């Protein structure tokens, strides 16, 4: 299905050139959404030629609006964008294309494991959408020995008893059904890949412009500097009681 994204940068450009308060990019974002746009794109540049910091903050906080926030890698710009910190991370097993055997890890091996150019994004889900996500994790976790069973997660711990989620903690705090949560995932999944259609209903969408593969490579390099090894082990993030 085709989806319409509207870039409103030049609404802000015109406002800035006039030195006035109008046209207002926040109003433009709301109007585009009302007119049927699926998402809004804004670019927070280093020179602030278009969108200003306050514009980005207000637009990203609008309810039920997908926002594609384009940013540079300038540390100051990244600092602004990362004020919306993810609460936990969700990926999918199908994205990992091979295993990692014992021994030295090469950059080429990481490309084999993660051959796709998937970007890390942060999406915001409300209580209904998050319940759909939790139900998805529950069902995938009970698929048995299938290659696609289970869901790779971080920052969240769940216990499933008699097909019901009877315990859920996010960042070691009990899940609050009245709170919106920010989830780190990939652009592929955020667009509904692997049947994660609930992500398409997210109220905010921020593209970090960092490839998942590059994040993996950087992480391995960092822990290698301090002599830490990459180890796979079960730590009870998803616990199933029959």
Q: Are 3 and 38 in contact (CB under 8 A)?
A: yes
Question: Among 61, 69, 54, 55, which residue's Cα sits nearest to residue 7?
Answer: 69
Q: If DSSP codes are grouped into helix, strand and coil, which group holds residue 40?
A: strand
CATH code assigned to 86-202+210-242: 3.90.780.10
* Distance, CA of 204 to CA of 41 (rounded, Å): 11
Q: Please state, in angstroms and as integers, the Cα–Cα distance from residue 166 to each residue in 138, 158, 160, 229, 242, following that order.
A: 11, 8, 6, 34, 12
> So what's the pLDDT on residue 90?
95
Q: If DSSP codes are grouped into helix, strand and coil, which group holds residue 39?
A: strand
Residue 70 has pLDDT above 70, yes or no: yes
Q: Are 37 and 66 in contact (CB under 8 A)?
A: no
> So what's the pLDDT on residue 63?
66
Extents of the domains making up the chain:
1-83, 86-202+210-242
**Alpha-helix runs per DSSP H in the chain:** 9-18, 25-34, 53-60, 75-81, 107-113, 127-141, 187-190, 212-225
* Distance, CA of 96 to CA of 213 (rounded, Å): 10
Question: Among 1, 2, 44, which residue's Cα sits nearest to residue 25?
Answer: 44
Residue 83 has pLDDT above 70, yes or no: no
> So what's the pLDDT on residue 230?
86
> So what's the pLDDT on residue 221?
85
Its sign, for the CA torsion 203, 183, 61, 188, is: negative
Q: What are phi and psi of 46, to 5 degrees?
A: -65, -35
Report pLDDT digits (tens) over 147-164.
Answer: 678 899 999 999 999 889
Least confident of 67-81, 96-110, 168-182: 67-81
Mean pLDDT of 80-89: 75
User: To the nearest whole number, what is the mean pLDDT of the chain?
Assistant: 85
Walk across the sheet containing 66-71 and list its strands: 5-7, 39-44, 66-71, 204-211, 119-125, 181-186, 88-90, 153-154
Q: How many CB atoms lie within 10 A of CB 143?
A: 11
User: How big is the CA angle at 127 (ends 215 and 38), to the nearest 5 degrees?
Assistant: 70
Q: Using H for helix, E for strand and C for coil, what is the string for 92-152? A: CHHHCCCCCCCCCCCHHHHHHHCCCCCEEEEEEECHHHHHHHHHHHHHHHCCCCCCCCCCC
């Amino acid at each position: 299905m085709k989806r319409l994204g509207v870039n409103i940068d030049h609404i802000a450009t015109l406002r800035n050139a006039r030195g006035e308060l109008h046209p207002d990019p926040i109003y433009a974002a709301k109007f585009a959404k009302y007119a049927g746009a699926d998402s809004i794109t804004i670019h927070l540049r280093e020179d602030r030629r278009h969108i200003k910091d306050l514009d980005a903050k207000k637009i990203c906080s609008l309810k039920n609006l997908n926002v594609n926030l384009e940013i540079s890698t300038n540390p100051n710009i990244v600092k602004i964008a990362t004020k919306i910190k993810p609460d936990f991370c969700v990926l999918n097993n199908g994205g990992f294309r091979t295993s990692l055997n014992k021994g030295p890890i090469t950059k080429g091996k990481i490309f084999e494991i993660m051959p796709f150019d998937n970007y890390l994004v942060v999406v915001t889900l409300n209580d209904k959408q998050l319940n759909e996500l939790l139900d998805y994790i529950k069902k995938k976790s009970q698929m048995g020995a299938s290659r696609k069973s289970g869901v790779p997660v971080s920052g969240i711990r769940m216990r499933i008893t008699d097909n019901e989620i009877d315990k859920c903690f996010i960042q070691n705090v009990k899940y609050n059904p009245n709170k919106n949560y920010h989830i780190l995932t990939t652009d592929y999944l955020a667009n509904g890949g692997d049947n994660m259609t609930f992500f398409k209903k997210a109220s905010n969408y921020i593209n970090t412009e960092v490839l998942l593969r590059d994040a993996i490579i950087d992480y391995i390099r960092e822990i290698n500097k301090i002599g830490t090894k990459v180890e796979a082990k079960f730590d009870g993030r998803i616990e199933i009681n029959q």
